[in-house]
Amino acid sequence: SFSINSARSQVIDFTSPFFSTSLGILVRTRDTAAPIGAFMWPLHWSMWLGIFVSLHVTAVFLTLYEWHSPFGMTPR
C-alpha cells in the first residue's frame, strides 16, 4: 500500500491527508498464466482419487436404486 510513513516522508513531500479510507487497488501481476492442472494443487493426489471414486460409486448406487425403484427410471 502507499501510506505515509517516516521512510517515505524523507524522500517525498506529502500533503496533509484530507480523506482516509481502507479501500485498496488491485493490480495484475505480470505472470498470470497458470498451468492447466493448477486447480488440483490444493489437494493431495490421494484426495482427488478418493473424490473421483466416491462420485462414481455414488452414481452407480443411484443408478441401480432408480432402476429397481417402481417410481424411478422405468415406472411400472
Number of helices followed by number of strands (H, E) in the chain: 2, 0
This prediction has a pTM of 0.48
pLDDT in tens, 15-50: 877 777 778 888 777 777 888 888 888 899 999 999
Residues contacting residue 24 through CB under 8 Å, at least 6 positions apart? 1
Which pLDDT band holds residue 75 (cuts at 50, 70, 90)?
Answer: low
